[in-house]
Amino acid sequence: MTTHDPTIPPPRRLKPWNAVERGLARVGITGRMLVLIAPLIWLLVFFLVPLAVVFGISLTSKQFGRPPYTPLLTSEEGTVQLTLHLNNYIRLFTDNLYVAAYLSSIRIAAIATIITLLVGYPMAYAIARAPDRWRNILLMLVVLPFFTSFLLRVYALTGFMRGNGVINQFLGLFGIEPIVMMQTDFAVYVGIVYTYLPFMILPLYTTLVKLDVSLFEASADLGARPIHTFLFVTLPLSLPGIIAGSMLVFIPAIGEFVIPSLLGGPETLMIGRVLWDEFFSATNWPRASAVAVAMLLVVVVPIMLLQRAQGAVVEK
Amino acid sequence: MKKSLAIALGAVLAASPAIAQEEPVLNVYNWSDYIAEDTIANFEAETGIKVNYDVYDNNEIVDAKLLAGNSGYDIVVPSGNFLERQIQAGLILELDKSKLTNLGNLDPAVMATAANQDPDNAHAVPYMINTIGLGYNTAKVTEALGPDADLESWDLLFKPEVVEKLAGCGVAVLDSPSEVMGIALHYLGLDPNSESEEDLAAAEALMNSIKPSIRYFHSSQYIDDLGNGEICLALGYSGDIFIAADAAAAAGQGVEVTYLIPKEGAATLFDFLAIPADAPHPENAHAFINYILEPEVVAAITNYVFYANPNLPALEFVDEAVKSNPGIYPPAETIEKAFVMQAHSPDYEEVLTRTWTRIKTGQ
């Protein structure tokens, strides 16, 4: 009797992926977890492992050879010895240079972030309120500078600010003496604001464009003047954009190296330059690593505070 | 049968040198503006070796790449004081002199001096000789200091009352602690290679006294700035300042740049052609060094970069204008007063770097 039993489904053809999925499911891994694992592996390979290497080097001592630091682990007659040098970290506190450099970096980054916000907010607002057909073109113009090399753009700024540059030649038309702008903190601010402006405008724009226009109308109907509507309606509602944009400017600006070395003067003390000197001039990789780890902590704390602030805003 | 054996043998014979031979590639890491325009193309045409050419503007970068290892470079061009340490640390390959048939062209006097940094000249070949001196914008400096100013002395930079008159038109100094502090020590009449704390403190005080007049510390920016009148005085490498002078003349904006080896004596640097210990193509690197040692080749480089070379038979191929320029081929009495930088101990290096940061930033 070989009649086909209709209650038994025909054997399903397994595609290779199905087999993989089943295999993974058997050990408890679902597709959703796979999606999460990819960024985790990325983070592990490109962030945590390098950070661990840097942290490891920061606990060694300098020597001249390859590699230019003492080994962390040494094995002698079967016993493995771990040698930790904490003096690199102690030095960060005993030598006033490092604290001064951190503070100066934070100050420069904070001032630059505020200027970027003041410049970027009206631009983002104008783009968000522009007619639909203009918006994409305006956004494109904001992103356009990224099509040239960052280094080239910073160099181009020197053409504007140098003694016989565009600005001074223009001032010269009115008989004004050339102003020294290059190699000053002013030039560094111009460099940071110019370079990071798109990072401020884009998150601000995304928040502002989503704001419900009827709220403004309601505010106006209830008798608020435009300035009040802006201060008490628009500004609070755009706070997540302000925080996101400020973080995107502030954090990379702290560790900035290229802008202060090309535009800044000798007194423009920033941690990126101190790091460069430790690494290259003094060939002290362990201390440079300690400076880098400490810098990460300096940056992580404000990020966490801002994240918390942003979380609170969103919950409201 | 015989024929096929012959073919097989031929294949083996043809294959064996191919196995020993490196791929025809050479990775060169050299200073910016430090070779003639056609040197690399000529070498490629003559040898069939494809050259990948990268440039840098300070010794520290090369040092860091060699220390990290696997830089991938076959030729590097460190200055003597850096080379000395790199040899001690085992970062440089010992030369196979049997492959350097042109080695005899080099000036024995230069080789003897170079042996202070590379014992027995075993690891490296002197490439160019340069001095660190002052480059200035003739018109602006004369205008600022008056017609009777002494334009022959280190006083231009190191005397506060002189240099402050130049601050307005712009003063730049190399961002290189060992070299600048060595020159400062020499100006004070001290040993430029001294590692004593007192001497360093004296040099620091000297640098601090002129610091308010210095616009920036950088090791290549001054080439452009001196050439287009952005600054009027630079402590820099002779060849770089000549390049600035050349660019200024070519631009025709009325900027005239002069290079000065001050009468008190200048720092003399030898830059060496060296092969990293882990170079992937050491054979090709030897071929390149031997090519550079050919008199016509190195003379063409000197004519282009305005640095003197230590190749004796090359002198006849050097342009008369270059040969007779005392800033490039200095007269005997200048050479007598010149001094050579030596490598510092790692401990002193650290103190020096810290002092340098303090001078630059005030911290």
Q: Which of A180, A266, A278 sits opposite B360 (nearest CB)?
A: A266
Q: How far is B17 from chain A (nearest CA, A)?
A: 33
Range B165-186 burial, b when 16+ CB lie within 10 A, else e: bbbebbbbbbbbbbbbbbbbbb
Structure tokens at A177: 């003496």
Domains and CATH numbers, chain A: 16-82 (no CATH), 87-315 (1.10.3720.10)
Structure tokens at B86: 């790199």
Is residue B20 scored above 70 in pLDDT? no
Does B69 lie at the interface with A, CB-CB under 8 angstroms? yes
Span(s) in chain B for CATH 3.40.190.10:
25-129+270-329, 131-267+342-361
Q: Is the distance from CB of B156 to CB of B219 less than 8 angstroms?
A: no
Segment B27-31 shows an average pLDDT of 96
Q: Is the distance from CB of B56 to CB of B93 less than 8 angstroms?
A: no
pLDDT tens track for A266-282: 888 999 999 988 888 88
Q: Are residues B230 and A164, on separate chains, in Cβ contact within 8 Å? A: yes
| B26-30, B154-158, B347-351: least confident range | B347-351
pLDDT tens track for B207-251: 999 999 999 999 888 999 999 899 999 999 998 999 899 999 998
pLDDT band of residue B12 (cuts 50, 70, 90) is very low
* Sequence-ordered strand ranges (E) for chain A: 73-76, 79-82
Is the model more confident about A59 or about B11?
A: A59
Q: Is the distance from CB of B274 to CB of B75 less than 8 angstroms?
A: yes
pLDDT of residue A113: 97
For A43, residues 6+ apart whose C-beta sits below 8 A from its C-beta are none
Question: A-chain residues within 8 Å CB-CB of B67?
Answer: 65-68, 283, 285
Q: Are residues A281 and B177, on separate chains, in Cβ contact within 8 Å? A: yes
pLDDT tens track for A187-221: 999 999 999 999 999 999 999 999 988 888 898 89
pLDDT band of residue A81 (cuts 50, 70, 90) is confident
Q: Which residue of A53, A57, A64 to mutate against B (max B Cβ within 10 Å)? A: A64
| A53-57, A310-314, B308-312: least confident range | A310-314
pLDDT of residue B289: 97
Q: Which residue of A283, A284, A285, A289 to mutate against B (max B Cβ within 10 Å)? A: A283
Segment B182-203 shows an average pLDDT of 96
Q: Are residues A64 and B361, on separate chains, in Cβ contact within 8 Å? A: no
Is residue B270 scored above 70 in pLDDT? yes
pLDDT of residue B15: 45
What chain B residue is nearest to A261 in terms of C-alpha separation?
B218
Q: Are residues A64 and B88, on separate chains, in Cβ contact within 8 Å? A: yes
Does B275 lie at the interface with A, CB-CB under 8 angstroms? no
Q: Are residues A283 and B170, on separate chains, in Cβ contact within 8 Å? A: no
Does B319 lie at the interface with A, CB-CB under 8 angstroms? no
In degrees, to the nearest 5, what angle opens at C-alpha A278 toward C-alphas A83 and A74? 15
Is residue A51 scored above 90 in pLDDT? yes
CATH fold of B131-267+342-361 reads D-Maltodextrin-Binding Protein; domain 2 (3.40.190)
Q: Is the distance from CB of A254 to CB of A271 less than 8 angstroms?
A: yes
Q: In CATH, which superfamily holds the domain spanning B25-129+270-329?
A: Periplasmic binding protein-like II (3.40.190.10)
Helix, strand, or coil (residue A230)? helix
